[in-house]
Structure 1
Amino acid sequence: MAENGRRLQDRIIDLIIDRGLAPGEPLPTEGQLVDELGVGRNSVRESLRALSTLGIVDIRHGYGTFVGAAPITAFTPGLLFRTRQSMQQDASVLRDLVEIRRVLEMSLIETVVDRADEDLVGELDDLVAAMESGDLVETDQRFHETLFRPLNNGIALELIGLFWTVYHRVETELDPPGPERAEICSEHRAIVEAVRAGDPVAARSALGAHFVDIEQRVARLGDPR
């Protein structure tokens, strides 16, 4: 039964691709899908709901069903659940996520340095200043979004955002607590200064140092006390 449901979801996806429907464009009506796919109305509804959770379709009650943008963030609830479950045992999923995020950001930072301009550095300066007195978590997220914006790589930015969101949602469950605000701000300031100087080596070093505390805290999870 589940396999039949997956096949129907694939057929709906094929229909979207074959017709060249772009995000935001309407799908055929539920009745039209029933006729075209030769399946029951309930099966169509269940498949559309499943595709909606992945962001592939956008169900707007009272208006119809539209093609979704399928953002990577659609995987956040499942990944967050898996991460929190793992934290009750060995925190292996969280460690894997932090490692992937570190490798991804470290591999891209040199391109950021190469493409950075005065406007970008100015924005990063303002965000570090905001960290010192404002909402640290929210500003931290904006900092990383801004830092990697010169890449013009939407998938990379979504992945970084996904890993960031999951980590910070479970951060309060880490023990012991993380570094103080001043230390966090200092780490981000070092990244900005390296970007300002156009020094990719220093930028990689500063970004790597930013991950040290996170990795150490995660590594301590599950260790015998």
Structure 2
Amino acid sequence: MSRRPIYREAQARLKEYIQQHGMRPGDRLPAEAVLAAELGVSRPSLREATKSLQTLGVIEAQHGNGLFVAAFSFRPIIEQLPYGLVDSDAHFAEILVAREAMEVGLMHFAARLGAGAELEECERLARVMEEREAAGESSADVDKQFHLMLYRGLHNSLVDQVIETFWEMFSRLGDAIPRAKGTEVGAIHLAVVHALRAGDAQAAAASMRAHFDDVRARAAILDPGAARTGVPQV
């Protein structure tokens, strides 16, 4: 059995060190010489390991101040997405299913929040979508704000990051999905807001499913040979 490269071994030991010492985001790591000795690796190997862990978002370097444990983020995952995904309709469909499952499931929790500033802002954003639709303009940027704001009241940083991750993936994978005849994206979003304001989780989930059904229907009418020119409004 082949052994792991030395720098990969140093990576594994450093992650174990962070866990075993109960280090939290913002905690400073020991100086390089001290850390290399504790991990039983050479300083060059440690240096290579720390650079790769910075890329992965595990640790971060502060100029002139050393290395620190980084706060968890999905951003490194996004930045490491294979370029091959960009041209894959199959991956677009897979991400759509995953995102739908998550957002429909979150309706139960969002409905508990009732009316609040976040929901008021979501209604305003949905109205902006309607205005842009009437003017024949894209509202993809507003749509993204809507979905991020919808769960802000949960105060769940993991949910926020996953939603943003899905949006970034859509921007890399998705076509400029056309609006099918009769589709009113703003109205679909307003239906979600109204159901949540009433505290009706079941109606909110049904409206969110209808939203994704609409996205799926619009994606289905795309010309497979069409050029990818923008971000889907989802």
Q: TM-score, length-normalised on structure 1?
A: 0.82
For residue 192 of structure 2, what is the aligned residue in structure 1?
Answer: 191
Question: Could you tell me how far apart the structure 1 residues matched to 2:106 and 2:207 are?
Answer: 13
Map of 1:215 onto structure 2: 216
For the Cα contact (< 8 Å) 1:54–1:75, is it kept in 2?
Answer: yes
Of 99, 102, 120, 1:101 maps to 99
Q: How big is the shift at 1:4? A: 3.5
> Per-residue deviation at 1:179?
5.7
- Equivalent-residue separation in structure 2 for 1:198 and 1:50 (angstroms): 46
Match of 1:141 in 2: 144
Match of 2:54, SS state, is helix
Find out whether 1:203 has 2:204 as its counterpart. Answer: yes
Structure (1 or 2) with the greater helix fraction: 1
TM-score by length of 2: 0.80
CA distance in 2 between partners of 1:224 and 1:41 (Å): 52
**Distance between the aligned counterparts of 1:177 and 1:80, measured in 2?**
26
| Structure 2: tracts of 5 or more residues without a match | 227-234
Q: Aligned residues: percent identity?
A: 31
Unaligned runs of 5+ in 1: none
2:110 to 109, 112, 126: 112
CA distance in 2, matches of 1:222, 1:189: 29
- Partner SS for 1:189: helix
Give the secondary structure class of the aligned counterpart of 2:41. coil
- Residue 56 of structure 1: how far off its partner (Å): 0.7
Change (3 A) 1:79 1:94: farther
Relative to structure 2, which stretch is displaced further, 138-147 or 49-58? 138-147
Question: 1:165 & 1:97 partners in 2: Cα distance?
Answer: 11
Residues 23 and 215 of structure 1: CA distance in aligned 2, closer, same or farther (over 3 Å): same
Cα gap change, 1:80/1:138 in structure 2, threshold over 3 Å: closer, same or farther?
farther
Supply the RMSD in Å over aligned alpha carbons: 2.9
Distance (whole Å) between structure 2 residues aligned to residue 179 and residue 168 of structure 1: 20
Equivalent position SS for 1:50: helix
Tell me, yes or no, if structure 1 residue 16 matches structure 2 residue 18.
yes
1:100-135 Cα offsets, whole Å, 9 max, x none, are 010111111122112222333212122223444598
- Where does structure 1 differ by over 6 angstroms across 4 or more consecutive aligned residues? none
Contact 1:94 1:218 in 2 (8 A): no
CA distance in 2, matches of 1:80, 1:141: 23
Cα distance in 1, alignment partners of residues 4 and 126 from structure 2: 49
Q: CA separation in 1, counterparts of 2:168 and 2:180? A: 18
Contact 1:124 1:146 in 2 (8 A): yes
User: Which letter does structure 2 place at the counterpart of 1:24?
Assistant: G
Measured against aligned partners, the alpha-carbon deviations of 1:168-193 in whole angstroms (never above 9, x if no partner) come to 2333xx2653469x832222112111
| Cα distance change on mapping 1:219 and 1:80 into 2, 3 Å | farther
Letter matched to residue 205 of structure 1: A
Q: How many residues align?
A: 218
- Taking the aligned partners of 1:80 and 1:186, their CA distance within structure 2 comes to 35
- The answer to whether the 8 A contact 2:114-2:196 is kept is yes
